[in-house]
Amino acid sequence: MFIINWGYVTSRLDATSFRKISVFDSKIFKMCELDKLVAINPPVSFSKLADDDEISFIPMERIDENFGIVKAVETRKRVENKGFTKFQEGDLLWAKITPCMQNGKSAIAENLVNGFGCGSTEFFVIRQKTSNILIKYIHFILRDERILRNAQNFFGGSAGQQRVSKDFLRKLPIPVPPKAVQQQIINILDEAYETKRQKEQQSNDLLNRINSYLLEELGTTMPQEEENTLKSRVFFTDSKKVLGSRFDPKKYMHRYQKIFAAIENSPFDKKSLREIILYDVSGNWGLDETEIGIELVSCLTIRATEFDNKFNLNLENNRTKYRKYKPQVYEKIALSSNEILVEKSGGSEDQPVGRVAFVEKDMVENNNLAYSNFIHKLIVDESKVHSRYLFEYLRLMHNIKAIEVMQTQTNGIRNLIMREYFGQTVVVPDKNIQKRIADEASKMRMHAKKLETEADNIIKDAKAQIEKILLEGNL
């Protein structure tokens, strides 16, 4: 509950518009509403450019939410900017739509072709009004997790397409330290993010080492990546091989044929995936939160959004949902330790479907876990194969892109063809070799996770140091 002067109500009366936001309530530095410091969606003119001049193009997917930078810049002709958000060198792009906003998708537009760019209509464009404010400092403030959580109170629009109100940014109070202090804050952050980048690179190198280690142990050498030329894409195959089944050109391309030949050349036994699992089933929502007289089971529901690109389950994802199920439904989709989850639907051109994840013991000890209908669960026959070894093997198949020929794409969404996925060849060495591989891979994975945790802690420490500067003035 709060009281507001009637004179301040100049537009639609919405209680959220007048809710106080106080994350950095500094007693040392002057507090100022953001729209006094920056212009939000300022005008941008391309009038000095010819129609054929190139400008940068930044779609939403090119924003790295981890580091708050642009991963890669595309180019377009100046005349092709119609319908996109316009910006210029040095502007801050801040995602306003869910879930991009909560995930921290924002970045400063730098090194733009001809100094201008266009991009997603779901960006707010932010530009400093005065030389006394640094845009990198504003970027730090707007990437704070508490700011992002608070912004959800200012959502408007339909479910699934909600956007942050411009009023949230306009009325956001932030501390305004001297420019020298702003620069000090930026320096602290830059150093922390550089260290984080180095540690995460070490972590990625270690995870990639698991791939090469597994191939070495299996006596398998993968073919070199071919240059993407017309010659490499043209191939011939016997019509007898394609009659009576789905014709997918990728399946018969030389590169994929070489991958599967390399797997078959491993000196160890081989079985189809179907032969070494006891049970598999797709998830099912099975929601009925209104049924009377039935005590529903509340549990954390795993979806594709909980799969990260390092094949971990991220249960701290801010989109992870608790759902309620009838007991008989929960029994069917409950998760136990040592089970393997396969992402069977979703993906994109940049990220093929088919990622896998391993259900660790501590996950099910701390939560009731279930899984959605876009996930497939595998229970392994431990008498034939070590479950963690199979997880590492399936992870390898995804990383070497062998899974790409086991999927279809409809309306931009990729789906695994489960018949073909279960028919894939799995190299099955002696159980002692499997255990050695699984143990060694687990050690490397744990070390990689330790590096990632250290990287995250470096950023947390830097932010704590900055907060102390802003709130207490301790330089």
Same domain? For 47 and 103 the reply is yes
Is residue 37 included in any domain, yes or no? yes
Q: Let me know if residue 299 belongs to a domain.
A: yes
| Confidence bin at 166 (pLDDT 50/70/90) | very high
Q: Could you report the per-residue pLDDT of 6-31, keeping only the tens digit for each?
A: 544 444 445 544 455 557 788 899 99
Amino acid 475: pLDDT: 62
User: What tens digit of pLDDT does each residue of 278-288 get?
Assistant: 988 776 555 55
Question: Is the residue at 382 inside a domain?
Answer: yes
The answer on 80 and 188 residing in a single domain is no
Residue 257 lies in a domain: no
Is 253 among the domain residues?
no
Q: CA angle 404-408-412, nearest 5°?
A: 105
Tell which residue, 108, 102, 151, has the closest CA to residue 128: 108
How far is residue 396's CA from residue 91's CA, in Å, rounded to a whole number? Answer: 41
- Give yes or no: residues 142 and 188 share one domain: no
Which one, of 147, 149, 80, lies nearest residue 116 by Cα? 80
Whole-Å CA distances, 229 to 74, 132, 232, 267, 339: 21, 52, 5, 33, 41
Query: pLDDT, tens digit, for every residue of 401-446?
Result: 888 888 887 776 788 888 999 999 999 999 999 999 999 999 999 9
Last residue in a domain, options 176, 209, 238:
176
User: What pLDDT does 299 receive?
Assistant: 82
Q: Give the number of domains in the chain.
A: 3
Average pLDDT, the chain: 85
- Spatial distance between the Cα atoms of 455 and 103, rounded to a whole number of angstroms: 18
Helix/strand/coil (H/E/C) assignment for every residue in the chain = CCCCCHHHCCCCCCHHHHCCCCCCCCCCCEEEEHHHCEEECCCCCCCCCCCCCEEEEECHHHEECCCCEECCCEEEEHHHHCCCEEEECCCEEEECECCCCCCCCEEECCCCHHHEEEECCCEEEEEECCCCCCHHHHHHHHCCHHHHHHHHHHEECCCCCCEECHHHHHCCEEEECCHHHHHHHHHHHHHHHHHHHHHHHHHHHHHHHHHHHHHHHCCCCCCCCCCCCHHHHCCCCCHHHCCCCCCCHHHHCHHHHHHHHHHHCCCCEEEEHHHHEEEEEECCCCECCCCCCCCCEEEEEECHHHECCCCCECCCCCCCEEEEECHHHHHHHECCCCCEEEECEECCCCCCCCCEEECCHHHHHHCCEEECCCEEEEEECCCCCCHHHHHHHHHHHHHCCHHHHHEEEECCEEEECHHHHHHCEEEECCHHHHHHHHHHHHHHHHHHHHHHHHHHHHHHHHHHHHHHHHHHCCC
- Looking at the structure, tell me whether residues 414 and 376 fall in a common domain: yes
Domain membership of residue 252 (yes or no) is no
* pLDDT value, residue 13: 47
To the question of pTM greater than 0.85 for the whole model, the response is no
For residues 332 and 345, membership in a common domain is answered with yes
Of residues 325 and 183, the one with the higher pLDDT is: 183
Same domain assignment for residues 379 and 470: no
Q: Verify that 18 and 64 share a domain, yes or no.
A: yes
Residue 99 burial (CB count, 10 A) = 14
The pLDDT > 90 percentage for the chain reads: 54
Identify whether 259 is part of a domain: no
Task: Report the pLDDT value the prediction gives residue 129, as an integer from 0 to 100.
Answer: 94
Question: Domain of 118?
Answer: 14-176
Q: What is the CATH number of the domain that holds 95?
A: 3.90.220.20
- Considering the domain architecture, whether residues 420 and 435 belong to the same structural domain is answered as no
Q: Which of 96-100, 182-186, 203-207 has the lowest mean pLDDT?
A: 96-100
